[in-house]
Amino acid sequence: MGLSVAFAQVNSTVGDVSGNAALVRRARDAAAAQGADLVVFPELVLVGYPPEDLVLRPALLEAAATALHELERESAAGGIGLVVTLPWRTAAGIHNAAALVADGQTTLRFKHDLPNYGVFDEKRVFVAGPLPEPVDFRGLRLGIPICEDIWQPEVTAHLVRRGAELLVVPNGSPFEVDKCHQRLDLARQRVAQAQLPLIYVNQVGGQDELVFDGGSFALNVDGGLAALLPFWRESLYVTHWQRDSTGRLACETDATWVAEDRCSSVYQAMVLGLRDYVAKNGFPRVLLGLSGGIDSALTVAVAVDALGPAGVRGVRLPSRFTSDNSMVDAAESARLLGIQMDTIAIDDAVATTETLLTPHFSGRGRDVTEENLQARMRGLLLMAISNKFGELLVTTGNKSEMSVGYATLYGDMCGGYSVLKDIYKTEVFALARWRNAHHPEGALGPAGRVIPESSITKPPTAELRENQTDQDSLPPYDELDSILQGLVEEEASVDSLVARGFSRPTVTRVQRLLYAAEYKRRQAPPGVKITRRSFGRDRRYPVTNAFREQ
């Protein structure tokens, strides 16, 4: 007996139950037209993933249940079956559920292993289901473990004992660098242990700080890659399964895994994360300050690739410390990308503010206070434009700066989304060079050079005082980022970093800056998760924190 299974790698929207149900129907009908017997959707597709505390709203659960019942009714005439996913309430609580819908009937299975680490806190809102039993579908026994259920062998071992013949796994696995290899290796372990083929259907799209990269796949019993769906975009793909000489199901096709370049995957994550944040929250376009520096140049390139030139407005906000080169580089950025650029000089506004404060600052010399007035005036003006036109203000700060507090609250931190929030400064340079040499698939911006060479090669500077550079206040970025990688990504001790060759005074200073800036990061806008330890969802430190290593 053969089976044709469609992978519906779709981009659902959290909370949009009717829109998600329509998306399910479109994929169902397209899969049926291609002769599929069954179509499989990603995790919690009817409500979007992750729904967080939204699933505690009874009205959301009722809407999802209603959508499921309608899909069940529509299946009564036969035809294609669905593995559709949703939250489901029982007497025990709210479950993360998968529903096999076919022939006017629904069979539910509940997620057993609830992740509670990193970006996941499912134990907060869901209760674990029992070890799931296989479900019968037209003469076959399907095991439907949900996402985390395959990260340990317990669930799949139980399904094997209970007679499952094919593992069908709905997933909501967010992107982080190098994670796709981990998923594939993990799935191969389960296949080898279970001696069953496996279908892995992942979602695609952005949701607040998370972005889902797709890359759904199928494995035969020997661990061979039978199918691989595209990364970074929706896709519907039908696989065909027959019994081999041993009686096991085997996919008739095969596929080749080609690892995506790191810069390519990181850049695509930033583009998709911003695109969906703008679209799903209903913004007409975005704006950002164009300083002529590398961070704003890369950010505006990502924005144009995500939204097209018409979807982006740049604003230059020069002060008396802004160099002519910076003005030229900002204008060149706008020209290369074909975007609207406005210019608002801030000198008069800053001078007026300083005059208002002069009587109150009597006897105190100029310091960082006056520098920050410039950043805050820029934030005020950009927020005014955002308010007037309904455009999303995008910030341009990077992870290195946010790690050590090299950013001004209510100044350059003003905005609703941060493209570079999880990108260290050294990687900003690498991504800028990569983008000038590549035109990403699906990018709406122009091919060729889009970032001025001068923005890449000149010393980074905030230009808040005469002849200022970042290295006046910070270690060189290659050194700083290496120390931050240890402190943030690895939770490495000061002693271990000193043993790697860094000076103790530098490491302890960076650690002190890292801890002291926590209150700023609590007030920073969301930005797409790239690394294993993004600020906010992954790394949750107290603001009040007296612990220091010497």
**Residue 223: per-residue pLDDT:** 93
Q: Are residues 220 and 133 in the same domain?
A: yes
Dist. CA 504–CA 143, nearest whole Å:
54
Total domains in the fold of the chain:
2
Q: Are residues 33 and 89 in the same domain?
A: yes
How many residues are given for the chain? 550
Contacting residues for 379 by C-beta, under 8 A, at least 6 apart: 408, 410, 411, 412, 413, 414
Whole-prediction pTM: 0.94
Could you identify the residue written with the tokens 């990569």? 434
For residue 185, is it within any domain? yes
C-alpha separations of 11 from 157, 229, 282, 303 in Å: 31, 14, 16, 20
For residue 541, is it within any domain? no
Q: Are residues 330 and 198 in the same domain?
A: no
Dist. CA 540–CA 314, nearest whole Å:
33
For residue 512, is it within any domain? no
Give the residue numbers annotated as catalytic, written as ranges. 43, 111, 147
Q: Which of 209, 244, 279 is the last residue of a domain?
A: 244
Strands 249-251 and 93-102: unpaired
Q: Are residues 238 and 325 in the same domain?
A: no
Q: Are residues 225 and 274 in the same domain?
A: no
Question: What residue numbers bound the domain in which 393 lies?
Answer: 263-469+517-522
Q: Both tokens of residue 240?
A: 């065909």
Note down pLDDT in tens along the chain; length 550 residues. 689 999 999 999 999 999 999 999 999 999 999 999 999 999 999 999 999 999 999 999 999 999 999 999 999 988 999 999 999 999 999 999 999 999 999 999 999 999 888 788 898 999 999 999 999 999 899 999 999 999 999 999 999 999 999 999 999 999 998 888 889 999 999 999 999 999 999 999 999 999 999 999 999 999 999 999 999 999 999 999 998 888 899 998 888 888 889 999 999 999 999 999 999 999 999 999 999 999 999 999 999 999 999 999 999 999 998 888 999 999 999 999 999 999 999 999 999 999 999 999 998 988 889 889 999 999 999 999 999 999 999 999 999 999 999 899 999 999 999 999 999 999 999 999 999 999 999 999 999 999 999 999 987 766 566 666 667 678 899 999 999 999 999 999 999 999 999 999 999 999 999 999 999 999 999 999 999 889 888 888 888 888 888 7
Q: Are residues 275 and 211 in the same domain?
A: no
**Residue 472: per-residue pLDDT:** 63
Helix 504-516 to helix 477-484 angle (10° resolution) is 70
Dist. CA 35–CA 32, nearest whole Å:
5
List the one residue out of 462, 7, 65 whose CA is nearest residue 251: 7
Q: Are residues 363 and 215 in the same domain?
A: no
For residue 532, is it within any domain? no
Q: Are residues 69 and 101 in the same domain?
A: yes
CATH number at residue 449: 3.40.50.620
Q: Are residues 231 and 360 in the same domain?
A: no
